[in-house]
Amino acid sequence: MASANKIIKLENAIEASDYPKRINDVVHETLTNLSKFQLNEILSNNTNRKIVSLKGKFEGSSGDAIVILEKTAFSEDILTEGNKYFNEENHLKNIFHNDIYGDYQYFPQIELNALKATIIHPASQKHIDKYSVHNLYMVDETPKIYTEVILPQISKDQFDLQWVFNILNHTSESERIVFEDPDAESGFILLPDLKWGGEVDTLYLLAICHKKGIKSLRDLNEQHLPLLKNINKKGIETISSKYGLDGSQLRVYLHYQPSFYHLHIHFTYLRHEAPGILAERAHLLSNVISNIELIPDYYQRVTLPFVVRENDGLFQALEEGKVLKKISKPV
């Protein structure tokens, strides 16, 4: 009974909704360029995804900052309309040519050369760890491991959820909302994920449920089926109406482990290879619904694999619980 009471207390700590309202850090209110960003460290440089994560500080502001720069995808609309890529305002520099093959550097006009920038300030150590290069480990999480190791760790060491409640309360980002069902039990808000640049080719939307207390896949059972089905149906309908994509062209899924512990569901264009779609993390919503319909407490009974970073607090907890051990092989 003591163990059960401990779990209830841990879950209640996560479900607490009396988060204080906070004023946005001044750097986000006045930032117009990166001239005051002082680079201290390159946390990671993903040459495949063309994305770099940088740690530093903003002159005149306290706390660490993370600046994430990402090269954006080509827009088919811009390629096919107005000939912006194919006029005299652009410049080619020949590197070499051999018979029918030529290699060039291409310098398009400035409005076609934008980078997507995500800025986190002030950034916690957990943010810094998240965007740093690290060793990875696969965990087969049994219900026992979840109850005894994972749940206590995420209860004390998860990201602050104030930004989520700011969205749900319309305190922040209300202008970005694509759709909302306000029902307290089955409702949700659908809005663009921070990783989406706005082009349909790379569509990435996030559905955040209004119901509090659902941390992740592990909490889902038959009582949540109306919520899951509502998100799936209305999310697809909204995307079809607004962006012209059929439900068969969408990848709708949950992450495990999630990046934050309030139930949210990802909607991405099937042609877009969004981060986090690999088998060890993504769980298709249609499969989740089917599993619960077959076995109501499926996600309380199943072993769930996931990947953990060596510099994550979860890894330390798993190491202390003798579930994992650190491998000396470098990244």
**Could you report the per-residue pLDDT of 96-129, keeping only the tens digit for each?**
888 888 888 898 888 888 888 999 998 988 788 8
Determine if residue 73 is left, alpha or beta; phi over 0 gives left, psi from -120 to 50 gives alpha, anything else beta.
beta
- Name the more confident of 10 and 73: 73
d(CA 7, CA 2): 9
How high is the mean pLDDT of the chain? 87
Contacts for 128 with CB less than 8 Å, ≥ 6 apart: 43, 55, 64, 66
DSSP state of 279: T
144 annotated among ligand-binding-site residues: no
What number is the average pLDDT over the span 240-250? 96
Instruction: With beta carbons less than 8 A apart as the criterion, state whether 108 and 90 touch.
Output: yes
The domain ranges of the chain are 17-72+114-133, 76-111, 134-320
CATH number of 134-320: 3.30.428.10
Tell me the per-residue pLDDT of 123-177, one tens digit each, with 9 for 90 and over. 988 788 878 877 889 999 999 999 999 999 988 876 678 889 999 999 999 999 9
Residue 262 is labelled as binding a ligand: yes
25 band by pLDDT with thresholds 50, 70 and 90: low
The yes or no reply on domain 17-72+114-133 and CATH 3.30.200.40 is yes
Which of 170, 264, 272, 283 is flagged as catalytic? 264
Query: Active-site residue 264, yes or no?
Result: yes
Check for a shared fold between 17-72+114-133 and 134-320. Answer: no
H helix or E strand, kind and range, residue 5: helix 2-15
97 is in an annotated binding site: no
pTM as predicted: 0.69
Q: What is the DSSP string of 63-116?
A: S-EEEEEEEPPPPHHHHHSTTTTSSTTSEEEEEEEETTEEEEEEE--GGG--EE
